[in-house]
Amino acid sequence: AQTVTQSQPEMSVQEAETVTLSCTYDTSESDYYLFWYKQPPSRQMILVIRQEAYKQQNATENRFSVNFQKAAKSFSLKISDSQLGDAAMYFCAYRILLSGGSNYKLTFGKGTLLTVNP
Amino acid sequence: EAQVTQNPRYLITVTGKKLTVTCSQNMNHEYMSWYRQDPGLGLRQIYYSMNVEVTDKGDVPEGYKVSRKEKRNFPLILESPSPNQTSLYFCASRRTLPNTGELFFGEGSRLTVL
């Protein structure tokens, strides 16, 4: 079964510092997509960043970047210059191929709760 | 504004009283899906729909029904709610092509079944 594992239920970081959230996944596919979603206290699910597996270059969105290690099946999220507004639950997600080969769905990890300390 | 709209946002009900959570998207997306979120379990898919009149079970479909009569709407029906269906529910949609898998989420519906 294809799974997504976030081994850190909770993390904390000081404001303005850098934090890395880890994610590993299990797959037999060679081409796939990985995502990080952020869920602030408002509960809205917000896409933070997306990585396409066939692209070797790590995705970056402003202060958010990923370290994508395809061989190790690792997809960590780095948040630089952490801000109070970064405090949220972060979910790693993997796009998996459904049986029949014509459709995909997202499967999510269990989440990492990030606290940002002033 | 492109969005996925769910209603109600909050609901407290009692065991056995049928309820419907509505979901509507204005992005002309073919694919729609329902997830439930529970502490320590992340998001789990309940049902999904590839297009009008095409629906299929996700990972945790027991106790739920869905319908897709129109492209923009995908209601979630709990015929006889039970306390184990107390959860935070998300509706989501996406394009079929290009199929990156990226989902657009509604704001969530907090359901409590007493």
Among A44, A95, A105, the residue with its CB nearest the CB of B105 is: A44
pLDDT tens for chain A, 118 residues long, are 568 999 999 999 999 999 999 999 998 887 888 999 999 998 889 999 999 888 888 999 999 999 999 999 999 999 999 999 999 999 999 987 666 555 777 889 999 999 999 9
Among A50, A52, A111, the residue with its CB nearest the CB of B42 is: A111
Q: What does the pLDDT read at residue A102?
A: 59
Residues of B in CB contact (< 8 Å) with A are 33, 35, 40-45, 48, 50, 58, 88, 90, 92, 99-103, 105, 107-108, 110
Among B43, B55, B12, B40, CA closest to B105: B43
Q: What does the pLDDT read at residue A27?
A: 85
Q: Is A86 helix (H, G, I), strand (E, B) or coil?
A: helix
Q: Is the pLDDT of residue B94 over 70?
A: yes
Which chain B residues contact residue A107 at CB under 8 A? 45
Measure the CA–CA gap between A53 and A56, rounded to whole angstroms. 7
Average pLDDT over residues B57-86: 97
Measure the CA–CA gap between B100 and A35, rounded to whole angstroms. 10
Q: What does the pLDDT read at residue A53?
A: 87
